[in-house]
Amino acid sequence: MKNIPYRIILSEQHIPRQWYNLNADMKSKAPPLINLDTKEPVTVDDLSHIFCKELSKQEIDTENAYIDIPDGIIDWYKTCRPSPLVRAYALEKELDTPAKIYYKFEGNNTSGSHKLNSAIAQAYYAKSEGITHLTTETGAGQWGTALSMACSFFGVELTVYMVRGSFFQKPQRKTVMQVFKADVIPSPSNLTSSGRAMLEKLGEDTSGSLGCAITEAVEHAVTHENTRYVLGSVLNQVLLHQSIIGLESKKAMELYDEYPDIVIGCVGGGSSFGGLIAPFMKDKIEKTRNPYFIAVEPTSCPTLTRGKYAYDFCDVGRITPLAKMYTLGNGFIPSADHAGGLRYHGMSPIVSKLYDDKLIDEARAVEQTSVFDAAVKFSRIEGILPAPESSHAIKVAIDEAEKCRKTGEKKTILFCLTGTGYFDMSAYSNYLESKMINYVPKNEELQESFDKIPKA
Amino acid sequence: MKNIPYRIILSEQHIPRQWYNLNADMKSKAPPLINLDTKEPVTVDDLSHIFCKELSKQEIDTENAYIDIPDGIIDWYKTCRPSPLVRAYALEKELDTPAKIYYKFEGNNTSGSHKLNSAIAQAYYAKSEGITHLTTETGAGQWGTALSMACSFFGVELTVYMVRGSFFQKPQRKTVMQVFKADVIPSPSNLTSSGRAMLEKLGEDTSGSLGCAITEAVEHAVTHENTRYVLGSVLNQVLLHQSIIGLESKKAMELYDEYPDIVIGCVGGGSSFGGLIAPFMKDKIEKTRNPYFIAVEPTSCPTLTRGKYAYDFCDVGRITPLAKMYTLGNGFIPSADHAGGLRYHGMSPIVSKLYDDKLIDEARAVEQTSVFDAAVKFSRIEGILPAPESSHAIKVAIDEAEKCRKTGEKKTILFCLTGTGYFDMSAYSNYLESKMINYVPKNEELQESFDKIPKA
């Protein structure tokens, strides 16, 4: 056997004690969120009506490159971290490629994904600031599950506005959140004025969207005492927490004198990808290394590949601050694609800025059926059934490894396997029965949606 | 923080290179399987029409205490082993107990349970003997999933007879097996003569049973070329493979000078429990240590606590050899209890013998609702959503830790968390909605079933 083990699992004393704040090291910072009333960059005071104070500080911090992780968070990280970095020996052999393939596996916890990294942090800060209740939205259910677990750990109440389509199509996900004591509400709902307005406009049969659910969750938070809103992606604070993915990956690779030539991740709101690339991007910015970064998105929700780089709202109800990001327009309702976690109209301002500055080298949109081809192949060879979201990265990792077979290049490929697909079996079943279709929005559809982006 | 980490994960070079064959060290051996025709103990030749040759040898081996694990099996064990031994710090704190609680977590793989340990071994031997097709049965679906994965790893075809009730209630499980290329058939089926007979007798609406499905899978194997049958529990060979659970647990505890005072496991066919206790039982037999062993079963299928210790068939169709075991009678059809993996009429001959000899100190039957009380509590505190089967052990571990709180005893408790409950959400939903009922078979019902046990 080779010297590099199948799974590199660091011991718990190797859990990073600081997150890495990439924005502080970016020579050209991600543009700040803008307060709707003042038209100025948001302040901690502006944000702390919506978010916890410490998280508000993290959101606008462009000074401190490293931020200490409190012991109370480390204690819970120990339940599932460090996560394994897996050398995909079996996949390499099957593909007959000279490339070395590594994946950071974030799915080995009950929430089933990387989302727990930020959920634990956000619930911890809420508890420590005396917040008794949190609200959030969830699409596919990964974030809602992660936050339910974290709130259960710290004894904080939680209301989850779950995208209506998922609520009824994924009763299992709903039940998992309920096991962890969350109150799960299908969105749009009758509980908020924004929800009632959306129901009136869209009808009871609407499948909802993440943008709608965000509006409801924010309204709930700002209209209740001791309640704050938390978000599982897009925000700078979330990318900060997710930097633990990249930090652990880098540390594990260094142990074996490895460094990735290509770093690949799926992007929805951009949090896992932003976290994965963070410490490697530092090297690129400092010109000590030059890894090639590929962000992978679904053709059905092509934010980076076909969106505009502009200030837009994060939600449909237009009550959040404005964020400068690649966007399909805040009213964009994606097709009922199975990769629910990638169905968001916008993209992390940090990821957007890096892409605009060409520091992220490439965005690639892939079709759903090709993603499931890769997911099933990966399952059979590596023995892990991946989430549809994560499988976007697998698809491109396989493509890149196959290129190496043709060129003979011995590239080192790293991707993030963000989660498992145990709650996505109906999508797998559709695929196996050849019932899965690919959807690509038409130009006119996108143009109509772009028209709703606020003018500068 | 204390010196003992939350998760003790040994590195891959610590995967045991030999399984431990407890039967070889038992002063009084488990009685052998009996050939129906000769009325003599089965020989390797008898068995190798049904099983692979190497597995047939392992089945009757009472000589070799240690059996080498082939490299081809070790390679696949590396995908998920060594599994973590978790110190349940959070649970201890919540229970305010002086007891130390450890659990060996076998659920961190896509099959979701310990079943993969034997599935990999059985598929490996099949492949190495030129067998191209395997058949098996599955109840809850854990074994079927594990074997599907293993067959996919080694390129062996697989037909799974899935207990009819589970087939229709758990479409997700069926789809996972299909992802791994298995042919999944609801049992009883029209594909075998025994299946057709059972369908005629029980009707299309029957929910089936493990005993029925075994008969069909065995018939399929013996009537097709290059095809063998494999079983996921009960047999000596399966306990042998599962000894890796106990061996790793013991090694991990030894690193921290720990040794369990109480060892707890759930029992259906007895494989995970038999594997967990094996190396500790060696110490008890040799009188170097005296751990207290508790086997936990559901009140709805009370094999050890209310069954007979007698020679019985392993299947309903009465085509398997006779095994001396605790049994509720081969015709016993358990209630539609949610812990599908524990709904078997018999019990491993090794576990049965140890229990009869009082080397297993106690069998305890617990009610389903109390099991789910424990499962939900454990989820919220430890952050792992357990399988209903595994939660039987959790329930008793909590009970024993609470006893320690009352007595002040600092006992060290070890249990096996055999799997995760991600495919059991409808059971959790029933529990949360207070729709779950407890079922305890009446004495007359058991007596009727005992009457079908063959007379000596």
pLDDT 10s per residue in chain A (456 long)?
448 999 999 999 999 999 999 999 999 999 999 998 999 999 999 999 899 999 999 999 999 999 999 999 999 999 999 999 999 999 999 999 999 999 999 999 999 999 999 999 999 999 999 999 999 999 889 999 999 999 999 999 999 999 998 898 888 999 999 999 999 999 999 999 999 999 999 898 888 888 889 999 999 999 999 999 999 999 999 999 999 999 999 999 999 999 999 999 999 999 999 999 999 999 999 999 999 999 999 999 999 999 999 999 988 888 889 999 999 998 888 777 666 678 889 999 999 999 999 999 999 999 999 999 999 999 999 999 999 999 999 999 999 999 999 999 999 999 999 999 999 999 999 999 999 999 899 999 999 999 989 986
Q: How far is CA B428 from the centre of its chain?
A: 21
Chain B residues at the A interface, defined by Cβ less than 8 Å, are 1, 5-7, 9, 11-13, 75-76, 78-80, 90, 108-110, 112, 149, 152-153, 171-172, 175-176, 178-181, 376, 379-380, 382-385, 420, 422-423, 425-426, 428-429, 432
Question: Which of B5, B76, B179 is closest, CB to CB, to A428?
Answer: B179
Q: How far apart are the C-alpha atoms of A58 and A75, rounded to whole Å?
A: 21
Q: Which of A304, A320, A265, A298 is nearest to A137 (CA)?
A: A320
**Interior angle at CA A243, CA B86 and CA A389, nearest 5:** 80
B contact test, residue of A379, A381, A384, A428 with most B CBs within 10 A:
A379
Which residues does chain B have within 8 Å of residue A379's beta carbon, measured at their own beta carbons?
Answer: 110, 152, 179-180
In chain A, what residues touch B172 (CB-CB under 8 Å)?
Answer: 172, 422, 425-426
Kindly determine whether residue A422 and residue B422, on different chains, have CB atoms separated by under 8 Å.
yes
pTM: 0.96
CA separation for the pair A217, A127 (Å, rounded): 18
Q: Provide, as residue numbers in chain B, all residues whose Cβ is less than 8 Å from the Cβ of A384.
A: 109-110
Give B373's pLDDT tier (boundaries 50, 70, 90).
very high
Contacts of B7 in chain A (CB under 8 A): 12, 78-79
Smallest CA-to-CA distance from B276 within B302, B298, B249, B255 is with B249
Contact: A75, B1; criterion CB under 8 Å: yes
Nearest alpha carbon to residue B97 among B411, B410, B405: B405
CA distance A285 to B164: 59
Report residue B64 as tokens: 């070799």
The set of residues, in sequence order, having a beta carbon less than 8 Å from that of A259 and lying 6+ positions away, is A253, A289, A291, A412
The angle subtended at Cα B9 by Cα B6 and Cα B11, nearest 5°, is: 155
* pLDDT band of B3, cuts 50, 70, 90: confident
Give me the domains of chain A, ranges plus CATH numbers.
Answer: 7-14+82-111+235-450 (3.40.50.1100), 18-67+113-229 (3.40.50.1100)
At B39 the three-state DSSP class reads coil
Check CB contact under 8 Å for B425 and A171. Answer: yes
Q: pLDDT, tens digit, for every residue of B208-238? A: 888 889 999 999 999 999 999 999 999 999 9
Q: Per residue in B171-188, pLDDT tens?
A: 899 999 999 999 999 999
8 Å CB contact between A169 and A180: no
Confidence of residue B166 (pLDDT cuts 50, 70, 90): confident
B32: left (phi over 0), alpha (psi -120 to 50) or beta: beta
Query: Which of helix, strand or coil describes residue A254?
Result: helix
**Cα–Cα distance between A380 and A372 in angstroms, integer?**
12
- Interface-testing mutation among B179, B391, B420, with chain A (most A C-beta atoms within 10 A): B179
Tokens of A216: 């409801």
pLDDT, tens digit (0-9, with 9 covering 90-100), for B78-94: 999 999 999 999 999 99
- Nearest by CB: B79 against A6, A79, A376: A6
Specify the pairing of strand A85-87 against strand A100-105: antiparallel
Question: Contact at 8 Å (CB) between B191 and B185?
Answer: yes
Mutation target for B interface from A110, A169, A384, A424: give the one with most B CBs within 10 A. A110
CB A96 within 8 A of CB A398: no
Q: What is the largest CA-CA distance in chain A?
A: 63
Integer Rg of chain B from CA: 20
| ipTM (interface predicted TM) | 0.96
Q: At what angle do helices A236-254 and A271-285 cross, to 10 degrees?
A: 60
Phi then psi for residue A313, to 5 deg, are: -75, 150
Min Cα–Cα distance to chain A from B153, Å: 6
- Among the partner residues A5, A179, A380, nearest to B379 by beta-carbon distance: A179
Contacts of A358 (CB under 8 A, 6+ apart): none
B1 chain-A contacts, CB cut-off 8 A: 75
Query: What is the CA angle A376-A381-A386, rounded to 5?
Result: 45
Which tokens belong to B379?
């989820």
Tell me the DSSP string of A40-91: SB--HHHHTTTS-HHHHHHHH--S-SEEEPPHHHHHHHTTT-SPPEEE-HHH
